[in-house]
Amino acid sequence: MNTLSIRQITQLTLLAAMLTAGFSVAAQTVPTPPAPPVATIGPLAEIQPPPSAYRFPDGEVLHFQAEWRIWKAGDASMKIESSGDNQHVTASADASGIIGLLYHVLDRFDSTFDRRTFCSERIFKHVEEGLHKRETTIRFDQAGRKAVLDERSLRTNATKHEERETPGCVTDVLSGIYYMRSLPLLVGRTYYFPVNDGNNTVTVKATVEGRDVVSTDAGSFRTVRVQPSSDSGVLKARGKMWIWYTDDANHFPVQMRARLFWGTLMLKLIRVENAAPK
């Protein structure tokens, strides 16, 4: 049975990341002016460093609730804080309600990236989904232009070690969500950036489709609707994904919707804590 998973969230969002609801989107379409000519960073472009005036939302904690069909599927959260020259992001996802009784989910992610360049340095994943239980660490060697994966099964203690080439600077499936927040996200524009999750690096294409008003338990927000996609990797042939970011300097991700072959999954922001002022 499919249910809440940070792995699903982040991979679908950036490659990607997030999940299912059986009701219509709580958004009212706002008239959008004609889109300007599509401007792209380029499918093979490197990650762009954050603008000099950009301020990371240190201490910010975003809380989400996921729903599948008529049921609450679980809860997820993401937190970002500074650590020297790096940014440290942690995320968690837990199944709850009837979904939690039918399918155990307990996922924890931990990502570190360079605040000056947005290059990922490391991501750690603790994944418990049904009988699938493992811990994975991916280290990104920019100088050596490779991603080094070490994985251990928590059930059998079997291990795996792999090394894959990278273009040097890449995002991971968690830090990529924050990379997207640093972009201008202008309606009609398309942005490209590389993402690596321990396998081959894929190029994510983020198209800003239009503007909507989205209502969640956290409030009513004017947003821009972004559709991430890729010609390879997890996003290819896995349905469609949309993320609604607030149409302001914060670019809070207030809603995520994944339309998959087995249904539609919705994730909505329900609370924001300790957001650093812009």
Instruction: Report pLDDT digits (tens) over 146-180.
Output: 999 999 999 999 999 999 999 989 999 899 889 99
pLDDT at 3 over 50: no
Report the SS3 class of residue 101.
helix
Q: Enumerate helices (H) and strands (E) in the chain, giving the number of each.
A: 3, 15
Q: How far is CA 272 from CA 115, 125, 217, 250, in A?
A: 22, 24, 11, 12
Which pLDDT score, from 0 to 100, does residue 158 have?
Answer: 95
**Structural contact between residues 81 and 91, judged by C-beta atoms closer than 8 angstroms:** no
Alpha-carbon span 119 to 175, nearest angstrom: 9
- Hey, what are 12's tokens? 């679908």
Q: Which residue has the higher pLDDT, 165 or 265?
A: 165
Alpha-carbon span 92 to 114, nearest angstrom: 21
Cross-strand pairs, 194: 203
Q: Which residue has the higher pLDDT, 6 or 21?
A: 6
Alpha-carbon span 105 to 150, nearest angstrom: 22
207-259 tens-digit pLDDT? 999 999 999 999 999 999 999 888 765 445 456 889 999 999 999 999 988 77
